[in-house]
């Protein structure tokens, strides 16, 4: 099911007086037609004339499924199954609601696998590891075994929707500080390029030793004006950073430092732990064995610190240690949350409902995160003001301190 072999198929769907154009990125015409998700009242025609234009656009189509569409699909699939539709029919019905050309193609292929080749839904999902995570596949497989596939799919859609909402809110809260930081950096370059050169002429006419901060600004200004390769080099560095952003974000150093950033760090801790506990609770509730559940949660974490944390707990469980003991011995890895979680696991050992406790902790962490995310601009503002104040202070010092040095020279 290689993505590299996919072709872009262009269709016109006509119903009464309305015509809509739909594109599907799929491995075959049959898969594209299945992923089209047209209704019985629509007439489908293949638009071959659009192939040349879409051949140019094909490389620009994202080859990934957004959490929002994935959540919508799972909830829709659950509703379709609940209404009595067979899985292939429910997939086809929900494919018509999907906008992504790539995801339509994936659903078309899944529809063919489940409808014509006799694959189970989990087996079909396993053919697309880039679209469906091990956690999703394990939950679906557990639902098939226990006969609870429909409610599991709906719960999965709800959890993905909630997780996506929290992450989007967190990113939205970072837009304002990001804008301020960009403006500060722009001000630094602008002052160095336009303001400092005007003042340099006056400073150089006096035979005095300038303050270090002024020397720094003058040196940087000279680089901007005389070293013409500097700005293209900076642009090249930014391009490389953007190109390798995934590797940089996924590196141990970056992920460790991110958790230690004031204000942002605690939010990341709560968000990541809530996501992990949500996944763990769903896996345990679905009947997945505990060792497999913890193995999957390591991948769900998305952060090396939490991956190590749950990996260490998994290692202790494999040795035969009780969950209560395993959590207590690994509390230092994630700080205060580790201690709270260990105590909750201890309480759950008396009732035997660990999945219920995990869900409650996850909900509490999510609610706390949502409150803090709403207040994020207010929490970050003092830090931003401090950074901007330092920059302005350094710039003012670089401009005005030489005047005192010159005055001192004249008095001598």
pLDDT tens for 231-280 read 788 888 889 888 888 888 888 999 899 888 888 888 888 888 988 888 88
3-state secondary structure of 267: helix
3-state secondary structure of 114: helix
pLDDT tens for 100-123 read 888 888 998 999 999 889 899 999
Residue 4 banded pLDDT, cuts 50, 70, 90: very low
CB 280 within 8 A of CB 132: no
Q: Which residues contact 212 (CB under 8 A, 6 or more apart)?
A: none
3-state secondary structure of 338: helix
Burial class (CB in 10 A: 0-12, 13-18, 19+), 24: buried
Whether the CA torsion 27, 29, 34, 39 is positive or negative: it is positive
Between residues 6 and 316, which one has the greater pLDDT? 316
Structure tokens at 196: 């400092």
Pairing mode of beta strands 43-46, 7-15: antiparallel
What pLDDT score was predicted for residue 311? Answer: 92
pLDDT of residue 410 exceeding 60:
no
Length of the chain: 412
Max intra-chain CA distance, the chain: 97
Between residues 293 and 178, which one has the greater pLDDT? 293
To the nearest whole number, what is the mean pLDDT of the chain? 82
What pLDDT score was predicted for residue 389? Answer: 86
Average the pLDDT over 42-46 and give the result. 70
pLDDT of residue 357 exceeding 90:
no
Q: What is the DSSP letter of 192?
A: I
CB count within 10 Å of CB 332 equals: 9
pLDDT tens for 301-318 read 888 999 999 999 999 999
What pLDDT score was predicted for residue 2? Answer: 41
Closest CA to 107 of 145, 134, 147, 69: 69
What pLDDT score was predicted for residue 1? Answer: 44
Closest CA to 271 of 221, 349, 334: 334
Place of tokens 């150093």: 253
CB 110 within 8 A of CB 91: yes
C-alpha 130/C-alpha 64 separation (Å) is 7
pLDDT of residue 364 exceeding 80:
yes
Place of tokens 């962490």: 365
What pLDDT score was predicted for residue 60? Answer: 64
Q: Which residues contact 300 (CB under 8 A, 6 or more apart)?
A: 133, 135, 275, 276, 279
Average the pLDDT over 24-44 and give the result. 76
pLDDT of residue 229 exceeding 60:
yes
Average the pLDDT over 22-45 and give the result. 76
| Percentage of the chain exceeding pLDDT 70 | 87
Between residues 306 and 400, which one has the greater pLDDT? 306
What pLDDT score was predicted for residue 38? Answer: 62
CB 253 within 8 A of CB 370: no
pLDDT of residue 205 exceeding 70:
no
Q: Would you say the pTM of this structure is higher than 0.85?
A: no
Burial class (CB in 10 A: 0-12, 13-18, 19+), 63: middle
pLDDT tens for 137-170 read 888 888 888 788 898 899 888 888 888 887 787 7
pLDDT of residue 91 exceeding 60:
yes
What pLDDT score was predicted for residue 41? Answer: 65
Q: Which of 37-46, 64-73, 146-155 has the lowest mean pLDDT?
A: 37-46
Residue 204 banded pLDDT, cuts 50, 70, 90: low
Structure tokens at 82: 């609940």
C-alpha 266/C-alpha 303 separation (Å) is 14
What pLDDT score was predicted for residue 42? Answer: 67
3-state secondary structure 300-325: HHCCHHHHHHHHHHHHHHHCCCCHHH
């Amino acid at each position: 099911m290689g993505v590299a072999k996919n072709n872009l198929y262009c269709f016109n769907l006509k119903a009464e007086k309305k015509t809509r154009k739909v594109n599907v990125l799929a491995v075959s015409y049959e898969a594209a037609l299945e992923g089209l998700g047209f209704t019985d009242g629509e007439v489908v025609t293949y638009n071959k004339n659009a192939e040349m234009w879409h051949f140019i656009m094909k490389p620009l189509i994202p080859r990934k499924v957004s959490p929002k569409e994935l959540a919508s699909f799972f909830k829709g699939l659950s509703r379709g199954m609940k209404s009595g539709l067979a899985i292939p029919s429910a997939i086809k019905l929900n494919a018509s609601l999907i906008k992504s050309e790539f995801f339509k193609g994936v659903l078309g292929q899944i529809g063919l696998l489940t409808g014509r080749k006799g694959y189970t839904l989990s087996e079909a999902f396993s053919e697309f590891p880039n679209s469906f995570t091990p956690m999703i596949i394990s939950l679906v497989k557990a639902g098939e075994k226990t006969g609870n596939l429909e409610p599991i799919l709906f719960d999965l859609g709800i959890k993905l929707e909630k997780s996506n909402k929290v992450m989007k809110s967190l990113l939205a809260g970072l837009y304002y500080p990001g804008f301020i930081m960009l403006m500060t950096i722009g001000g630094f370059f602008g002052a160095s390029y336009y303001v400092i050169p005007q003042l340099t002429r006056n400073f150089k006419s006096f035979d005095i030793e300038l303050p270090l901060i002024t020397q720094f600004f003058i040196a940087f200004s000279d680089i901007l004006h005389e070293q013409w390769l500097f700005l293209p080099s900076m642009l090249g560095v930014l391009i490389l950073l953007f190109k390798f952003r995934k590797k940089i974000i996924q590196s141990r150093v970056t992920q460790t430092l991110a958790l230690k950033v004031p204000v942002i760090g605690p939010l990341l801790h709560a968000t990541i732990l809530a996501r992990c506990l949500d996944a763990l609770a769903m896996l345990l509730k679905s009947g997945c064995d505990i060792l497999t559940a913890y193995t999957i949660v390591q991948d769900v974490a998305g952060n090396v610190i939490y991956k190590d944390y749950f990996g260490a707990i998994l290692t202790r469980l494999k040795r035969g240690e009780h969950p209560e003991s395993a959590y207590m011995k690994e509390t230092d890895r994630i700080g205060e949350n580790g201690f709270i979680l260990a105590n909750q696991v201890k309480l759950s050992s008396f009732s035997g409902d660990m999945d219920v406790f995990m869900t409650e902790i996850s909900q509490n962490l999510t609610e706390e995160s949502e409150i803090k995310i709403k207040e994020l601009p207010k929490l970050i503002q003092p830090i931003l003001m401090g950074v901007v104040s330092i920059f302005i202070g350094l710039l003012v010092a670089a401009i005005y301190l030489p005047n005192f040095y010159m005055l001192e020279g004249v008095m001598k």
